[in-house]
Structure 1
Amino acid sequence: MRRSRAQRAALISAGLSLVLALAACSDPSQDDDTGTSDEGTSDGGAAEDTALNAYLYQAPNSNWSPMAPAHGPDVIVMNLIYDSLLGVNPDYQLYPRLATGLPEVSEDGLTITYTLQEGLTWSDGEPFTAEDVVFTYNMVANPATGSPSAGKFADVEGAAEVTAGTADTVSGFTAPDEHTFQITLTKPNLGIVGLTGNIFIIPQHVLADVPVDEMDTTDFFTKSPNVGLGPYVFEEYQTDQYVHLVKNPNFREGEVDIDEIYLRPVTSDVATAQLGTGEMDLVQISPADLSTVEALDGIEVASAPGAGFIRTSVNELKPYLKDVRLRQAMLYAIDRQQLIDEALGGHAQPVNASFMKDALPDDLETYEYNPDKARELLAEMNWDPNQVIQLTWIPGQRDRDTAATVIEAQLNEVGIKLELNQVQPGELTDMMNAQSYDMTLYGGGNYATEPFAVYPIDSCNTHYPNGANLSFWCNEEFDRLVQEANQTVDEAARYDLYRQAAVIENAEVPMIWLYNPDTIWAHTDRIQGFEPMGDQTNPFWNVQEWSLDG
């Protein structure tokens, strides 16, 4: 039986009432003496109108470490409790945060100099200096810490020695004085600013004595209170209920207006229902709910184009997944436009390469829906229809859940036996570490600010855990073109090289590209100062400018 939107909303609300009743006894943001005034107006927090409840699209791993593999919900928390030299604004342009401006690059392209803001302190009151930046970059550039981002620093002087274990620190990271941080390169690397300027800075005075090989297990990144430079301090995580943060009284911008934030890992359906009942203030909504949410009183809707995309990795370490024709067949077998129209209300664009904007050529193969072509490719490679492929993902986001079921049905239709495997974040991390997965469905990334950002997800040198290449694809000509582009000062020539690399990637299909979604935010009109960000991991990019009215 097909239900109307109103009927579905009523069912969601009815089921939600029981959930909220059971949770209230252990959830401080729902207690009458902390969250609801005598007049019956809930502010969702410990003090009247000073707490904000926001949707967290998945449960976090609760490891707030810049050296941990990137996991979107954890990155959202880290964007609140840490800060970085540079940030990315809603136009996907770099802008200064801890730095006073964008860095200076020497004429030979070998020295990058950041000037830091003066007078900044950590949340525990200790002064922030360039030595904290040197310490942080050394930790992130050292694979012994468990950092998957170490490969981004391959061109930094002394990084190779640290990777080889013959040096303890990277000689190319220096602090000429307490307000200056320099990176010295072995060859020009124009993309390194965009790839590494947003690294979350961690406190040397707290972590200096932790052995490097224990950095990924130290309890600093899970305990409360955490020490950071961001507008908020981590207070507690109640598993599967909320992440609680309180404002940092020493934040560099001065007084933060909103006292507390509760990040709530619930499904998108529940989050939308809570937005309607007033129990949620900020939600990333599904396009399927857009018309319903727009009809709610006191709710404002804003959207921004995404900088990343939803895709599935294909583990080429598995012999049965190595043939490029299989991956091409998968793309032809999936009706991505239908998926976009039905699951996202048209608020997305199909993707046929990882590059974006000016780095994307116009003449790529578009892999339009063609199941007959898919069958031809499978027959050509003598594909075994009894071979089972498992697609693993973390459930809870409606478009991704829908995408998984559509992929399952349409691949099975052409003779690829796909099985779905829903897991929790920790389980997926274990599978990644063991390289035991066949395919994983995930999304995110920012490929709009800096084209070289594609290199970590595609290159031969950044196979996980040394980078974010979860498909273990390798094409040396692709790597050569991208590296040459990254060293080319002339912008027109640089982007031409990126477009050549995109043609190779498009033909070899290192991953199954699905779509680039618009990010749609809905929030109570009590929030003032909110500016929509297309990056779903950073809705709080300017939270220090927010306030809650009434």
Structure 2
Amino acid sequence: MKFNKTLFISGAYILVLSISACNNKDSGESAEVKNITESQKSIFIEDAKEFLPGWKTDNVVVNHWIGDPDNIHPTNGRTSARSWLLNLTYNYLLTGDAINLTLAPDLAVALPTVSDDGLSFTYELRSDAKWDDGSPITVADIIFTYKVNKCPLIENAMQKSYMENLQTITVDASNPQRFTMVMKRPYVQSIAFTTNLAIIQQKFYDPNGVLNNYSFEQFNNTEFANTADAPIKNWCTEFNNGKYGNDITLFNGSGAYKVTSWERGQSMILEKKQNHWSTNIADKQNFQTAFPDKLIFKIITDANAQTLELKSQDIDVSVWLSTQNVIDLEKDSNFIKNYNYVFARNYNFNYIGLNMKPDGVKHKKIFDDINVRWATSYLIPTDDIINIVYSGKAEQWNAAIPPFKDGYNHDLPLVKYNFEKAKQLLAEAGWTDTDGDNILDKVIDGKKEKLQIEFIFSMGGKFIEQMAEMVAGELRKAGYEVTLSQMDLSTLAGKVSQHDFDMYMGAWAGSFLPEDYTQLWHTSSWANGSSNYTGFGDAQTDALIDSIKTTVSDSLRLPMVKHLHKIIYDEQPYIMIFSSSRKIVMHKRFGNVYMTFERPGVVLNNLKLLTSAMQQTEINK
């Protein structure tokens, strides 16, 4: 990939329980997996030719999902559900255009002007953007937002690695709408990281201007957290308060939609704001529209209940159905009549994470041994999971990077099920059954320990339980004692971020352009509660990651990426890595439908109720 493309879409990974060419057009009535190609950016579905009797005429989109976000705090959170909601209720300096797979200005007038040394990025803020109280969004709000995210006392661990390279922000003396972000060093995410930071109002969160007394340079000091004075400590404690992510009366985004109801475990409702400032934007882009009056996010985890809701047409959109559920629905003529659907390749992947740095007390020293990690990897029935649970509509990867993306190391063979090899490695690691109870044991630190592990995974459907049972069954055959523990995604996210696990099943939503691997693999991301849950890495891999993120030339960076993935592969912190096809279902009563390879797979705000369009066509005749 060329240098200019590396700057576009952010590579931040989000916890999941998802140049210039025409978009593909598709009827939506094919079960073939849609592949990502150089010429394809999204799948456009032709509008229905007629609005059928029985189709609802309310301009309300009911979107099926499988769990609540961890919160909707503007800076502190980690789930894909939260990210989806923030994109609908907040604005960003720049945003990712999921349909066209590029970066686009949101609150900025245009993409930044970049200095010759690649360290300074100058933006101009649009003048028509307003907060809900009618006051303008200002450069002061931009600076405040970035200070908040930069501050070491803010509990936004997932953003810390992306903020580290920001040196300061300066305001143009001749134009108060223009400002420059100055970076410490060249960085592959110097523009793209802005797509991760929802802009927040200083007057709402900091009416007394506490952060005005602190500079970016102070926040760059690694000792700031230890030397901070009372005013900033008190302010950060208040800002980190969970109420700002859970009390809907305290949600204060500038986006076109607002959260008006949140019944946890059931639904969340977003309603379009009246007279929103974006209404006056000419030639709106897909991320600037707000065609539906209301967006309802409805939690349905049971597959039978999902089927009934679809058959009764009570769901308009889903990207969370199981493969088998969609295959079964294909046999229903009414489903085919009422819904468009595709199976699409994507950048997300499932995996099992192993605790490489157990404390030896609550979590035994099991997966700190590379032989045990490899043995466990050989015991995972990945092919069976793909064929049975996903009906073949998934693909195994050899590492946490898509095989259709630059940087994938094709020299690394896929890890396949091998019971005998696993038993051999376990024996070499000292795990044998000395007491004949069919559970392997070993003396660790002078004490006999059994090969007992807790395998944690999230709620979200029978298919997740089925995968966990299949994995546990094979491990038990080899002499592991496995306890299965299922929990909601927020609880799971909390446990893994605190390294409170033996083995867990997770998923990441990735992107199509180069990442900063700090978030997932740098040792600092293990120490600070970010996303290196497993404890992978050492000084050598940290140095390699640091080199990758500061090298913008593809010819120099990609060989380093492949080397990093070879090390990750050899260490096996993640096992059972595969990507299932995204199942995207959309009711035909809505037009202007794009199904995207980028997360979340649909653009809800851009859907147009067809009956309105058809009525207008009749009026214009």
TM-score, length-scaled by structure 2: 0.74
- TM-superposition CA deviations, 1:199-241 (whole Å, max 9, x none): 2222222112481232121533333343213231011111222
Of the three residues 112, 135, 156, the one matched with 2:121 is 112
Shift of 1:256: 2.5
- From 544, 564, 568, the counterpart of 1:505: 568
- Asked if 1:232 is matched to 2:257, the reply is yes
Instruction: Report the number of matched residues.
Output: 490
**Given the alignment, which residue of 363, 368, 376 partners 1:330?**
376
User: In the TM superposition, what is the alpha-carbon distance from 1:350 to its structure 2 partner?
Assistant: 0.8
Amino acid in the other structure paired with 2:245:
F
Quote how far apart the aligned CAs of 1:482 are.
2.5
Does the 8 Å contact 1:194/1:449 carry over to 2?
Answer: no
Partner of 1:531, secondary structure, is strand
Per-residue deviation at 1:92? 4.6
Structure 1 residues 231 and 341: CA distance shift in structure 2, 3 A: farther
The reply to whether residue 293 of structure 1 matches residue 351 of structure 2 is: no
Q: Which amino acid aligns with 2:268?
A: V
Look up the match of 1:359. 407
Q: Give the match for residue 180 of structure 2.
A: 182
Mapping for residues 489-500 of structure 1, pairs under 5 Å: 489-500=552-563
Distance in 2 (CA, whole Å) between partners of 1:213 and 1:305 is 42
Any residues of structure 2 matched to 1:85-104 within 5 Å, and which? 85-90=94-99, 92-104=101-113
Q: 1:50, CA displacement in angstroms?
A: 1.8
Where 1:366 maps in the other structure, the secondary structure is coil
* Farther off after superposition, 71-80 or 93-102: 93-102
> How far has the Cα of 1:243 moved from its partner?
0.3
Q: Give the superposition deviation at 1:282.
A: 0.6
Q: In the TM superposition, what whole-angstrom CA distance separates every residue of 1:441-490 from its partner, at most 9, and x where no partner exists?
A: 121221432232x3311111111644211112123222222221222232
What is the deviation of 1:73? 2.2
Q: Which residue of 1 aligns with 2:270?
A: 245
Structure 1 counterpart of 2:472, from 404, 408, 424: 408
Note the residue ranges of structure 2 that are not aligned, 5 or more in a row: 1-51, 208-233, 281-288, 359-364, 433-439, 441-449, 612-621
Q: Partner of 2:160 in structure 1?
A: 150
Tell me the distance in 2 between the aligned counterparts of 1:430 and 1:175: 38
Distance of aligned partners of 1:348 and 1:180 in 2 relative to their CA distance in 1, 3 Å threshold? farther
Counterparts of 1:5-404 in structure 2, within 5 Å, are: 43=56, 49-61=58-70, 63-84=71-92, 85-90=94-99, 92-148=101-157, 149-157=159-167, 172-176=168-172, 177-209=175-207, 211-217=235-241, 219-225=243-249, 226-249=251-274, 250=276, 252=278, 254=280, 256-267=290-301, 269=303, 270-284=305-319, 285-294=321-330, 295=332, 296=335, 297-318=337-358, 319-356=365-402, 357-383=405-431, 385=440, 386-404=450-468
Gap change, CA 1:367 and 1:218, over 3 Å in 2: closer
Query: Structure 2: how far apart are the matches of 1:195 and 1:508?
Result: 29
State the 1:198 CA deviation.
Answer: 2.8
SS at match of 1:244: strand
**Amino acid in structure 2 at the alignment position of 1:252:** S
Q: What is the CA–CA distance in structure 1 between the aligned matches of 2:461 and 2:598, rounded to whole Å? A: 15
SS at match of 1:499: helix
- The alignment partner of 1:258 has SS state of coil
Q: Does the alignment pair 1:437 with 2:497?
A: no
Q: Is the 8 A contact 1:325 1:378 kept in 2?
A: yes
Partner residue, 2:592: 529
- Report what 1:456 is aligned to: 519
Distance 1:93 1:352, change over 3 A: farther
In structure 2, give the amino acid aligned to 1:128.
I
Note closer, same or farther for the CA distance 1:208–1:493 as it changes in structure 2 (3 Å cut): same
SS across alignment from 1:118:
coil
**Which amino acid in structure 1 is aligned with residue 512 of structure 2?**
A
SS in 2 for 1:316: coil
Q: Distance in 2 between matches of 1:138 and 1:126?
A: 21
- CA apart distance, 1:548: 1.8
Offset at 1:278?
A: 0.9
Task: Give the aligned partner of residue 544 of structure 1.
Answer: 605
SS in 1 for 2:310: helix
Given residue 222 of structure 1, which amino acid in structure 2 is its aligned partner? N
For the Cα contact (< 8 Å) 1:194–1:450, is it kept in 2?
Answer: no
Counterpart AA for 1:95? A
Structure 2 CA distance, aligned partners of 1:406 and 1:430?
A: 25
The CA distance in 1 between the partners of 2:453 and 2:503, in whole Å, is: 8
Q: Deviations over 1:307-362 (max 9, x none)?
A: 12111222222132211222222221112122112111222211221233111121
1: CA distance, partners of 2:179 / 2:580: 36
Distance 1:485 1:427, change over 3 A: closer
Amino acid corresponding to residue 368 of structure 2 in structure 1:
K
Q: Distance in 2 between matches of 1:222 and 1:503?
A: 41
SS of the aligned residue for 1:479 comes to helix
Tell me the SS of whatever aligns to 1:211. helix
Change (3 A) 1:145 1:66: same
Matched residue of 1:261: which SS?
Answer: strand
**Do the aligned partners of 1:293 and 1:299 also contact (CA within 8 Å) in 2?**
no
Give 1:401 deviation, angstroms: 2.6
Larger RCO (CA within 8 A; separation ≥ 6)? 2
CA distance in 1, matches of 2:423, 2:279: 59
CA distance in 2, matches of 1:134, 1:189: 20
CA distance in 1, matches of 2:471, 2:244: 40
CA distance, structure 2, for counterparts of residue 436 and residue 397 of structure 1:
23
Alignment gaps of 5+ in structure 1: 1-38, 158-171
Task: Measure the CA separation in 2 of the matches of 1:216 and 1:512.
Answer: 34
CA distance in 1, matches of 2:375, 2:99: 36
Give the C-alpha shift of residue 530 in structure 1: 2.4
Are the equivalent residues in 2 in contact too, given 1:112–1:184 (CA < 8 A)? yes
| SS of alignment partner, residue 78 of structure 1 | helix
Counterpart code for 2:142: V
Note the C-alpha offset of 1:268.
Answer: 5.4
Change (3 A) 1:374 1:180: farther
- In 1, the alpha carbon distance for the partners of 2:407 and 2:530 equals 22
Contact 2:200/2:253, CA 8 A, preserved across alignment: yes
Deviates more, 1:454-463 or 1:76-85: 76-85
Instruction: Tell me the distance in 1 between the aligned counterparts of 2:142 and 2:61.
Output: 31
Cα offsets for 1:161-182 (capped at 9, x unmatched): xxxxxxxxxxx13443543343
* Aligned counterpart in structure 1 of residue 536 of structure 2, from 468, 473, 489: 473
Q: 1:446 corresponds to which residue?
A: 510
Q: Percent identity?
A: 21
Q: CA deviation at 1:82?
A: 1.6
Which residue in 1 is equivalent to 2:13? none
Quick one: structure 1 residues 412 and 464, their matched pair in 2 at CA, closer, same or farther if it must change by over 3 Å? farther
